[in-house]
Amino acid sequence: MNALERDRLGPYVRLLNDFLDGTIDASAFDAQFEQTYLADPFPWSDNVFRVLDRLFAEADAYCPDPGLFDPSLGNIGPEELRRVCEGARSDLLRLME
């Protein structure tokens, strides 16, 4: 990974850290991550793109409303989103080494 790509990952790692350390909740993470990802034109390497794209798909499946939550529709709750984020952060940090 080159220095530019490493620098561009900083906001994603900070956002993951904010969610995982409890600074923001799952709904705030979901909204901020999707906004950041969809507005990001950076040409990521394949390995980084796979991690971010998988995280986007999982964040998109997050359902904050218990009345609408339906795992049979592929919805995930806050604990599943947390596990996904832990894995994504680990993968990104490993790629940044």
Domain 3-96 fold is: Four Helix Bundle (Hemerythrin (Met), subunit A) (1.20.120)
pLDDT score at 65: 72
- Residues of the chain scoring pLDDT < 70: 67-69, 72-74
- CA pair distance 14, 89, nearest whole angstrom: 9
The confidence score (pLDDT) of residue 34 equals 94
pLDDT of residue 94: 96
Q: Are 7 and 86 in contact (CB under 8 A)?
A: no
- Check residue 63 and give its pLDDT: 76
Beta bridge partners of residue 76, listed in sequence order: 62
At 13 the pLDDT is 97
**pLDDT the model gives residue 62:** 87
Amino acid at 86: E
Question: So what's the pLDDT on residue 74?
Answer: 66
Residue pair 19/26 in contact (Cβ under 8 Å)? The answer is yes
Alpha-helix residue ranges (DSSP H) falling in 1-97: 3-20, 26-38, 46-61, 78-96
The domain limits of the chain are 3-96
34 contacts 77 by C-beta, under 8 angstroms: no
